[in-house]
Each structure stands twice: as C-alpha cells, then as structure tokens.
Copies of this chain bind each other. A is one copy, B any other.
Amino acid sequence: MHTDKPRPRVIIVGGGFAGLECARALARAPVDIVLIDRQNHHCFQPLLYQVATAALSPADIAWPIRAILSRQGNLRVVMANVTAVDTAAKVVQADALTLPYDDLVLASGVTHAYFGHDEWADAAPGLKTIEDARHIRARFLLAFERAELAADDAARRKLLTFVVVGGGPTGVEMAGAMAEVAHETLKEDFRRIDPRMSRILLIEAGPRILPALPDNLSGYAKGVLERMGVEVMADTRVTACSRDGVTLGDGTHIDASTIVWAAGVVASPAAQWIGAAHDRAGRILVNTDLSVPGHPDVFVVGDLASVPNVPGIAPAAKQMGGYVGRLIAARVEGRDPPPPFRYKHAGDLAAIGRRAAVVKIGRFELTGFLAWWFWGIAHIYFLIGLRNRFVVAINWLWSWLTFRRGARLISANGE
C-alpha cells in the first residue's frame, strides 16, 4: 500500500480466458478486485466439443474460479448475474448487489447467434457452456437409443442423421468426433441398428471449411473428414432449422434428429449496459488501449471486444486481458501506460477426429498424425490445473487406444 487512500476498486465481469488473465496481471497491483461470473467455474471452451461427444467429463475441462484464484489476496469472486452498469455513478448491478468500481473490465464474451432466427435455438443448440455440452451429449446419445427402438426405416434414418452447421474449427472438430462415436465407439453396442450407418453432415455457408486456414489445409481437412464418413457441404446455406431437420438454400430438406449450431456468435448484452457503440454482432468498439470511447475507466477484453483483425480465440482473449491488467496496474502505480494493444497471432489449429489435425503457425504448416499430437499437447498444456491436465491426458490416451468414450451419460434433464 503506497498511500493511505483506499485502494482503487477494479471490477472484472466474466471469468473466461480474458477475465482470468486480467485478474492475474493485477495480482501484485495495489487494487481491490471483484471478479463477477454467473457460473462458479471457468470453462476451457476449446475442448467443449469433447464433452459434447462423451470423450471428457465436464469437470475435466472446467475448474472453480475460486480455486484458480484462491491464492490471489487482492481479489474476491462473486457468483452473480450482472444486469446493469451505471457509468455515471460507477457501479455494477449484479443480482441484489450494487458494487462500486474505479475501473471496470468487461469480459462477458459471446454466445451463439441464429442470424435473427432465435426460434432455431431449441432444434439446433450451440456449444458455449458446460450445460450446452451436456445437453448436446444427451441428445446425440439418445438419438441412437431411439433409433434402436424405432418402428420404421424413415424414423430410424432421421434419428441417425446428424447435422453440424458451421465449418469453423468447432464445427470441424464436432463433426469429426461425432463420426468417430458413430463409426467406432458404438459399433458393437446395438442389435437392431448399425451406428456405422449414421449420416454426419457438416454444412458451411462459405466456399470452404476452416476459412481462417489456407486453401491446401482446408482441402486436407475436407478430405480427412470425408474418409471418416462426414459429408462436407460447402457453399450451402441453412434457411430453416426445426426438430424435423434442416432446410437448405436450394429448398432441399434433410430429415435429421440432431442439429448442432457452430455458426455465428452474438455478444453478451454488455454494449447495452454502458450504451456503447458496437458492431452488428453486438461487440463493443474500443480504442487502441481497449478502453471504451468516452469511458476511460471502462475496458472491453476477449470476444466481447470488436478489434480489427483479432480473431475470437482463446490466445487473443488472454492477450487482451493481460494487456488491460498491465495498463490498470501501470496507471494505479503511476507508471507510463503500455503502448497500444497489438495482437500477436500464434497460429491456427483444429483437430479432425483422433488421428489428424491441421496446424499453421506463421509459415509452418503441419497435417496428419504428428499435427494431432501437436494439437493434443498444446491443448493439455493450456488446460488450467495440474489435475485436469493429467486426467485429460489419461482419458485421451485411453479412448485413443480403445476407441471407447468414458463419459457416455444421458442425464434425465438432457432433453
């Protein structure tokens, strides 16, 4: 403590990658931090698709925020739902609590968007939270159970048709994992159906899957998926989703029982809380120091920030969070602020099933088996918490060796 003044209060909204990294960057700063999240856990979103396809348990990729930050004495965690921000009075409203701040860091992220068709949400759940993953897992596994009992061929075919909408990394990883479950994991488990007859469709509106990667890598990914039995449909727009299936741009209807939405995101309502300018997806436009124009005491980090040429991926969120943490620390300690935020792109990678991946780091490109190991090691390395790394590594090794999946539980409230 440098002075007798009360320490500046920093409120961080959101315990994702950006919020956590911001909190850590402030660990030694003379501030009092309140981190607010409506969940009690941080979720390692890049591996959510593995929970949705029963390879990992929720607790393998989620960790209590309190436990992550328990040693940080200048911080307390509040599990509550932020409903409003008063930038004039400088207070955050979270459920019944009114919390004053000197600096506010908004890191509440994004959720899936249905391009104005919110009514598709029930038929085509997205994959952003542990609950989402558990829900998709139950629906996916129940489809096989119901197909086993189906009365006729048409019903059976519909139940065994799985559609993934969106050909980004999440969609590619989801489709690959679904194909493995259907064609390998479950192949001996049923008597009346053969899960290998399942159809898995990956639908992408743009001209190719994995658009962030160069042509050759995206072509490679398509080839691997097709050999795994995934039907990859690029240049294909989905015009309707319902419990009956999807309708495509050319009017074709595909009967399908299970649809996973991996296309498009919309920001959490933070722009409305502070009345800030935002892009079409609701992401808040920020200055080069990630503060909000007109609000030098409000910062936006992670997927919620609209920053040109910065993708919505974990490394970018961490870089923004760390930057704002260092900026606030410098300010309260009277040091010079850091230069404007500059994003360093580490690379792109996506796993395709359990035998292949695509990796691009700078000019370095890698595909196939070696790329899969690189992908696996990189993800385990970044998983928070020693135990999780260890359990995830064992689960992967086990399912890799046996094609089995350990977390194949259907919850009562899965549907």
Contact = CB atoms under 8 A, between A and B. Distances in A.
Interface stretch (A71-79, A109-117, A158-166, A238-246): A71-79
Taken together, the copies of this chain in the complex come to 2
Contact of A76 (B40, B130, B191, B410): B191
Interface string A50-82: 000000011110111011001100001111100
Interface string A377-397: 000000001011011001100
Interface stretch (A204-212, A308-316, A401-409): A401-409
Contacts of A186: 66
Contact of A409 (B70, B130, B408, B410): B130
A268 interface: no
Q: Most B CB atoms within 10 A — which of A63, A79, A406, A412?
A: A406
B406 A41 contact: no
Interface stretch (A83-91, A141-149, A223-231, A295-303): A141-149
Q: Is the interface of A mostly helix, strand, loop or mixed?
A: mixed
A59 B409 contact: yes
A97 interface: yes
Given A131-B412, A149-B97, A398 B404 contact: no
The 6 closest A-B pairs by CB, nearest first: A59-B407, A66-B189, A57-B57, A76-B191, A79-B145, A70-B188
16 contacts: A40-B409, A40-B410, A59-B406, A62-B409, A63-B406, A67-B404, A67-B408, A70-B188, A78-B149, A79-B148, A95-B149, A130-B411, A131-B411, A387-B402, A387-B406, A391-B406
